[in-house]
């Protein structure tokens, strides 16, 4: 389980942004890809622990799940995988490793107040 | 306090690791060393496989290994029998290696004196997938005793790897290992993945895999000199 160190990384990034901008952070919006290797439930639990005794204590973690999007060279289109257990175009069935989304582990926005 | 508002920040949580990994990759390239990392579940046979790899490459190539383990130095002791330089990274409670640990472990090594460097990750099929170590090639190992559907249970790590190695092939008949089912599972989560099926114990299949590594080294050096 490496979610605690990931959670601490999220808190560090948010604390850094709040200090730089001179704002209070009430919520952190995270994009979490299905291929990020991070388990959402474990991360939610770890986040609370990681926030303790920091400026982020009491803040909320809001996770946006990002599905795996691949590019299908046959359809010439981006397609959403039906499952991470099958890297094939859900329309035509062609196997593809051209992953366009799904590896995200990104703090993309903060809810802040002055 | 004012009403909350939303500000976009877009920060990659693993940026620090990725920055170090990029620096390592550049360091490896300029030193002309080919770096292979090994990931697998505990007990898949990583250490035996690595011991044989080091021993068999050593007459012709300069090889070394870094070994990640939670608490013991047993693996480093076993690998030292190959007479190659081996350093243990004891991770304590951490279940995976990070780029900074590799960087620290290598600080007093001269990479220019090496052809191959192997990095054995902690036995774990989950956490290592998130961390780039700057390696040129990531091998994922699964033994025939683990079941053919292992790739479907851990798709992320198989998807993040470059090559699959099916180990302990000498036990395949005893456990009625279904090779076609295993190959189908691997290809489902990582289409086009090269697969080696071998036995580190008997040596069967090792030659083909070692030739592949040697070819990879030659290709990397050819590109580096352009």
CA distance A77 to chain B (A): 18
Q: How many other C-beta atoms lie within 10 A of the C-beta of residue B178?
A: 15
Cβ atoms < 10 Å from Cβ of B20: 21
| Residue B226 maps to a domain | no
- Looking at every residue in chain A, the average pLDDT score rounds to 95
User: Nearest residue of B to residue A7 by CA position?
Assistant: B13
Asked if A48 reaches chain B (Cβ–Cβ under 8 Å), the answer is: no
Q: What is the model's pLDDT at position A87?
A: 97
Contacts of B34 (CB under 8 A, 6+ apart): B28, B115, B116, B117, B136, B137, B213, B216, B217, B220
- Whole-number Å distance between alpha carbons of B80 and B99: 23
CATH of A3-113 among 3.40.50.720, 3.30.2320.80, 3.40.50.300, 1.10.357.10: 3.30.2320.80
| pLDDT confidence of residue A23 | 95
Q: Cα(B95)–Cα(B126) distance, rounded to whole angstroms?
A: 9
Question: What residue segments make up the domains of chain A, in order of their start?
Answer: 3-113
Taking the C-alpha atoms of residue A79 and residue B108, their distance in angstroms, rounded to an integer, is 47
pLDDT in tens, A3-28: 998 999 999 999 999 999 999 999 99
Q: How far is CA B35 from CA B113, B142, B218, in A?
A: 13, 20, 13
pLDDT, position B92? 78
Whether residue B2 is contained in a domain is answered as: no
Phi and psi angles of residue B186, each rounded to the nearest 5 degrees, phi first = -65, -45
CA distances from B223 to B30, B36, B61, B162, B217 (A): 11, 17, 19, 19, 10
Q: Which residue of A has its CA nearest to B10?
A: A108
Token duo for residue A59: 């803040």
The phi, psi pair for B83, rounded to 5°, reads 75, 5
Nearest C-alpha of chain A: how many angstroms from B11? 5
B1-27 confidence digits (pLDDT tens): 678 899 999 999 999 999 999 999 999
Within 10 angstroms of residue B95's Cβ, the number of other Cβ atoms is 18
Judging contacts by C-beta atoms under 8 Å, the chain B residues touching residue A26 are 4
The rounded percent of chain A whose pLDDT value lies above 90 is: 96
Does B10 reside within a domain?
A: no
Q: Is residue B28 situated within a structural domain?
A: yes
In the structure encoding, which two tokens stand for residue A71, read together? 């590019």
What pLDDT was estimated at residue B1?
62
- Structural domain contains residue B1: no
Classify residue B6: in a domain, yes or no. no
The CATH number for B165's domain is: 3.40.50.300
Over residues A45-58, the pLDDT tens digits come to 999 999 999 999 99
Helix (H, G, I), strand (E, B) or coil at B146: helix
What pLDDT shows up at residue A104? 96
pLDDT of residue A7: 96
Chain B residues with beta carbon closer than 8 angstroms to that of A84: 155-156, 159, 189
In a domain, B93, yes or no: yes
CA distance A35 to chain B (A): 6
Read off the tokens for B155: 């798709």
Q: Could you read off the pLDDT of A72-98 as tens digits, one per residue? A: 999 999 999 999 999 999 999 999 999
Q: What is the pLDDT of residue A76?
A: 97
Q: How many folded domains does chain B comprise?
A: 1
The pLDDT score that the predictor gives to residue B74 is 79
In this prediction, residue B48 carries a pLDDT of 93
Query: Token pair 């304590």 is at which residue?
Result: B92
Residue given tokens 């080091």 in the structure block: B54
The verdict on A10 touching B (C-beta cutoff 8 Å) is yes
Q: Report, in angstroms and rounded to the nearest whole number, the Rg of chain B calculated over CA atoms.
A: 19
Paired strand residues for B17: none
- Ranges of chain B whose pLDDT falls below 70: 1, 225-226
Task: Quote the domain boundaries for residue B141.
Answer: 15-221
Instruction: Quote the DSSP letter at residue B144.
Output: G
């Amino acid at each position: 389980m490496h979610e605690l160190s990931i959670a601490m990384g999220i808190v560090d990034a948010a604390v850094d942004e709040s200090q730089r901008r001179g704002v209070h952070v009430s919520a952190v919006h995270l994009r979490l890809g299905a291929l990020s290797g991070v388990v959402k439930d474990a991360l939610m639990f770890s986040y609370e622990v990681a926030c303790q005794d920091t400026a982020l204590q009491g803040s909320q973690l809001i996770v946006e799940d990002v599905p795996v999007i691949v590019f299908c060279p046959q359809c010439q289109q981006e397609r959403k995988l039906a499952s991470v257990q099958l890297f094939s175009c859900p329309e035509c069935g062609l196997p593809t490793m051209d992953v366009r989304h799904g590896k995200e582990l990104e703090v993309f926005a903060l809810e802040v107040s002055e | 306090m004012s009403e909350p508002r939303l500000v976009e920040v877009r920060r990659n949580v693993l940026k620090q690791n990725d920055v170090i990994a990029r620096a390592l990759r550049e360091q490896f390239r300029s030193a002309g060393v080919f770096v292979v990392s090994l990931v697998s579940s505990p007990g898949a046979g990583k250490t035996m496989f690595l011991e044989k790899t080091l021993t068999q490459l050593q007459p012709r190539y300069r090889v070394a290994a870094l070994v990640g383990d939670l608490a013991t130095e047993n693996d480093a002791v076993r690998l030292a029998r190959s007479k190659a330089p081996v350093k243990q990274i004891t991770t304590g409670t951490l279940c995976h290696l990070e780029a900074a640990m590799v960087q620290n472990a290598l600080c007093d090594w001269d990479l220019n004196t090496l052809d191959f460097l192997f990095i054995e990750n902690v036995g774990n099929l989950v956490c290592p997938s998130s961390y780039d170590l700057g390696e040129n090639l990531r091998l994922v190992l699964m033994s025939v005793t683990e079941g053919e559907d292992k790739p479907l249970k851990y798709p992320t790590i198989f998807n993040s790897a470059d090559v699959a190695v099916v180990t302990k092939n000498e036990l395949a008949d005893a456990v009625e290992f279904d090779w076609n089912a295993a190959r189908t599972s691997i290809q489902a989560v990582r289409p086009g993945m090269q697969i080696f099926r071998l036995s580190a114990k008997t040596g069967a299949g090792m030659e083909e895999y070692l030739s592949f590594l040697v070819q990879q080294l030659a290709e990397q050096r050819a590109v580096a000199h352009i």
